[in-house]
Amino acid sequence: MSDEPEEMLSWDETVFRDEHVFEIDYLPDAFHHRTSQLESLKYALRPAVRGSRPLNTMIQGPPGTGKTTAVQKLFGELGGETDVQTVRVNCQVDSTRYAVFSRLFEGIFDYEPPSSGISFKKLFGQLTERLVDDEDVLVVALDDVNYLFYENEASDTLGSLLRAHETHSGVKIGVIIVSSDLSLDVIDEIDTRVQSVFRPEEIYFPRYAVDEIRSILRERADRGFHEGVLDDAELERVAELTADSGDLRVGIDLLRRAGLHAEMRASRTISDEDIEAAYEKSKHVHLSRSLRGISDSERALLEVVIDHDGQQAGEIYEAFEEETDLGYTRYTELVNKLDQLGVIAARYADVEGRGRSRELSLEYEPEAIRDRLD
């Protein structure tokens, strides 16, 4: 059937009604299956509307389970309130205390702090002064806060935010932290001096079940594709593949790529073949995200591990040192960071005659990593 002329797309036709709905930063109108989480978050934020400090909150859950979307939805609603300011900081991008506060400054003043270098103290002072003068409550979401932990900046950042009212009288700040690294015990990892002022409400975002994934993706596909492009059997396949990873982003990316693949064949409809081909790329959305914004040293280490997959940390260091001249301490930090990102695994193994040593291996196919490093 697909060879019939009426099944073929002409050069100026497309399967997409609105391709934008499959983009990474698209905020969906419909946000189902997260009612209880949204209620809990609303409960924590409600005091802000009355001019009081909101409850601090910790949101946790695996990747692609709607955490960021939930924060964006509620911040959107709070945006209508006159005396509440909301700022979401992406800690993968802004991963130091200074960077976080620069972003907060920008959120509040609507312009960036002077790039000529203003001290943290000044930055902090100007920010809090403005909040107090305007009698505004500030709600800060530290999204992907796990990156602050990887850089050892979490305690200082949280400490400054949570103790702001002690150093700057009258200031009202509430903090939402969002983490998708379930192996990270956030409370345990922060300094005791900060722990004592951080008793957050906890909200958990579990993985979506396959029927939830199916209905979310159907809704997205109906908006994004023309009628008849994606039938139920194909949707089912996409939902299964998405459920395997648990990350809804895989499904959304898969829909877009399958659509593009169908167009490449000049087909009006998405077939299994389009989905399987697209999945080869879409299954790595998480890897792409982890590798986005890695530093030059992290990249250098990763390239060395690709060539020495499965070898001992000590042996790999020799190759790494040759490439970079970096010391062993720095090397260990970089190994830990790539391990936390889930790109490599550093596992202790018994080595004959040398006791216990770490073995470094790739968590993805080397080609998949290499493709995303370029």
Ligand X SMILES: Nc1ncnc2c1ncn2[C@@H]1O[C@H](COP(=O)(O)OP(=O)(O)OP(=O)(O)O)[C@@H](O)[C@H]1O
List of residues contacting ligand X (CB under 6 A): 28, 31-34, 61, 63-69, 144, 180, 205, 216, 248-249, 252
For ligand X, give the closer residue by CB, 205 or 317: 205
Would you give the binding string for Mg ion spanning residues 61-80, x where CB under 5 A is met? Answer: -------x------------
Q: Which residues of 104-129 are buried (b: 16+ CB within 10 A; e: fewer)?
A: bbebbeeeebeeeeeeeeebbebbbe
Residue 216: contacted member of ligand X, Mg ion, none (CB under 5 to 8 Å, by partner type): ligand X
Smallest distance from ligand X to CB 236, Å:
18
Smallest distance from Mg ion to CB 200, Å:
17
DSSP secondary structure string for all residues of 184-235: --HHHHS-HHHHTT---EEEE-PPPPHHHHHHHHHHHHHHHB-TTSS-HHHH
Residue 54: contacted member of ligand X, Mg ion, none (CB under 5 to 8 Å, by partner type): none
Q: Are 235 and 274 in contact (CB under 8 A)?
A: no
| Partners of 312 in the β-ladder | 359
69 marked as binding residue: yes
147 marked as binding residue: no
Q: Which residues of 132-145 are buried (b: 16+ CB within 10 A; e: fewer)?
A: eeeebbbbbbbbbb
Residue 156: contacted member of Mg ion, ligand X, none (CB under 5 to 8 Å, by partner type): none
365 vs 157: CA distance, rounded Å: 36
DSSP secondary structure string for all residues of 8-75: BPPTT--SBS-GGGGSTT---S---S-HHHHHHHHHHHHHHHTTSPPPPEEEE--TTSSHHHHHHHHH
Q: Which residue is nearest to Mg ion (CB)?
A: 68
61 marked as binding residue: no
| Partners of 179 in the β-ladder | 60
68 marked as binding residue: yes
276 vs 60: CA distance, rounded Å: 31
For Mg ion, give the closer residue by CB, 68 or 146: 68
The helix/strand count (H/E) of the chain reads as 18, 7
Sign of the alpha-carbon torsion through 320, 321, 324, 326:
positive
For Mg ion, give the closer residue by CB, 235 or 341: 341
Residue 252: contacted member of Mg ion, ligand X, none (CB under 5 to 8 Å, by partner type): ligand X
For Mg ion, give the closer residue by CB, 22 or 320: 22
Residue 271: contacted member of ligand X, Mg ion, none (CB under 5 to 8 Å, by partner type): none
Residue 34: contacted member of Mg ion, ligand X, none (CB under 5 to 8 Å, by partner type): ligand X
Stretch (H or E) spanning 122:
helix 120-134
164 vs 167: CA distance, rounded Å: 5
DSSP secondary structure string for all residues of 229-248: SS-HHHHHHHHHHHHHHT-H
Smallest distance from ligand X to CB 121, Å:
32
Smallest distance from ligand X to CB 191, Å:
24
Smallest distance from ligand X to CB 170, Å:
33
In a 10 Å sphere around its CB, with 0-12 CB exposed, 13-18 middle and 19+ buried, how is residue 238 labelled?
A: buried
Smallest distance from ligand X to CB 2, Å:
30
For ligand X, give the closer residue by CB, 175 or 305: 175
242 marked as binding residue: no
Residue 95: contacted member of ligand X, Mg ion, none (CB under 5 to 8 Å, by partner type): none
Q: Which residue has the tokens 């620069």?
A: 102
For Mg ion, give the closer residue by CB, 181 or 298: 181
Smallest distance from ligand X to CB 231, Å:
21
For Mg ion, give the closer residue by CB, 68 or 290: 68
Residue 249: contacted member of Mg ion, ligand X, none (CB under 5 to 8 Å, by partner type): ligand X
For ligand X, give the closer residue by CB, 32 or 199: 32
Q: Mention every residue, 6+ apart, whose C-beta is less than 8 A from residue 25.
A: none
The one-character DSSP state at 270 is: -
Smallest distance from ligand X to CB 223, Å:
11
Binding-site residues for ATP sit at: 65-69, 208, 220
Q: List residues binding Mg ion (CB under 5 A).
A: 68
